[in-house]
Amino acid sequence: MTIENVSQAKVFGGWHKQYHHQSSSLNCQMRFAIYLPPEASADNPVPVLYWLSGLTCTDENFMQKAGAFRMAAKLGIAIVAPDTSPRGEGVADDPEGAYDFGLGAGFYVNATQAPWNQHYRMYSYVVDELPKLIEQHFPVTQVRSISGHSMGGHGALTIGLKNSDRYRSISAFSPISNPMNCPWGQKALSQYLGNNTDDWKQYDSAELLKSKMTTLPILVDQGEDDGFLQEQLKPELLLAAAEISGSDIKLRMQPGYDHSYFFIQSFIEDHLRFHAGFLKD
C-alpha cells in the first residue's frame, strides 16, 4: 500500500501531514491527515486516536479548527483524520446536491444498495484498511481509540461498540445517537442499506447498546444550545439504551454550547486526556 505526501507543517514540535492513497475499500483515491507528536519514532511508536468528522467535512476541519495538537504533543498521542466519504470522478452523489447524503456524508456504513455499494464502504475503510495503512507507514502502535463529531460521533460510537477488541476507549461530540429515529439517519440508512430497518440496527448506537453491554469507557459531550439537539441528535436515547444493557456512558450536557468547532475546541483537551488514560496505561 503506497501513499503520497500532499502537505506537511511542523506544529508543537510534531508534524501534521496529509496524504493521498488509492483505497481498495472505496475504489477511489482518498486523503487522510495524521498528526505525529514529537516523541514518535521507529524506536518509540505511539498510540493513535482516530477522529471521524461530520457532515460536509474533510480531514481538514478537525485538524485546522479543533486545537488538539498542543495536548496531543504533550500526551504523546498520534491523531488520524480520514475524509468523510469517497470522492472523485465516478463516485455517486445525491442527485439534488444535498449536504446530508452522498459526497461528504458517508455515514461510516458499508452500503449494500446500488449505486452506493460501488464506493460507499466507509465502515471497512475506517476499521480495516486505514489502520493497516497507518501502521505500515508511520511510527505508531496497534493501540487505538476512536472519537468523532456529529455524523462522526455516530461513526465512532458504532465502530467502537462493534469492535471493542480494536479500541481502548470511545468519545463523541454531539453524536447522532439514534439514526433510525432522526431525519439525517433515516435518509442515509434507507438509501445506503435499503428499506429493511433490521439492517439499520447494526449502524445505530442506541440499538447496539440496547442489545449488548459494553465495557469500553465512553465519554460524550453535547451542547445544550445545539440547534440539531432535539430533532437529529437525541443523546437521551443513547443514555436510556446504555441503562437497559448496564453499559457505563458519561454524558455531559454543556450549557450554552452549540454544534460548532468552538464547542469542540472547548473540550477537546478533556477528550484527549480521557483517551490517554486508556491508551498509555
- Return the active site residues: 150, 226, 259
Q: How many CB atoms lie within 10 A of CB 233?
A: 26
Instruction: Give CA–CA dist 205/178, Å, rounded.
Output: 6
Q: How many CB atoms lie within 10 A of CB 161?
A: 22
- Is there a contact between 71 and 269 (Cβ–Cβ < 8 Å)? yes
Residue 37, preceding bond cis, omega within 30 degrees? no
- Is there a contact between 99 and 56 (Cβ–Cβ < 8 Å)? yes
Residue type, 120: Y
The SS3 call for residue 106 is coil
Find, among 46, 27, 266, the residue nearest to 141 by Cα.
46
The SS3 call for residue 30 is strand
Q: Which residues pair with 49 in a beta bridge?
A: 79, 145
Find, among 16, 41, 39, the residue nearest to 138 by Cα.
41
In the chain the beta strands, taken as DSSP E runs, fall at 4-11, 14-23, 28-36, 46-52, 78-82, 140-149, 170-173, 218-223, 249-254
CB contact set of 260 (below 8 Å; sequence gap of 6+) = none
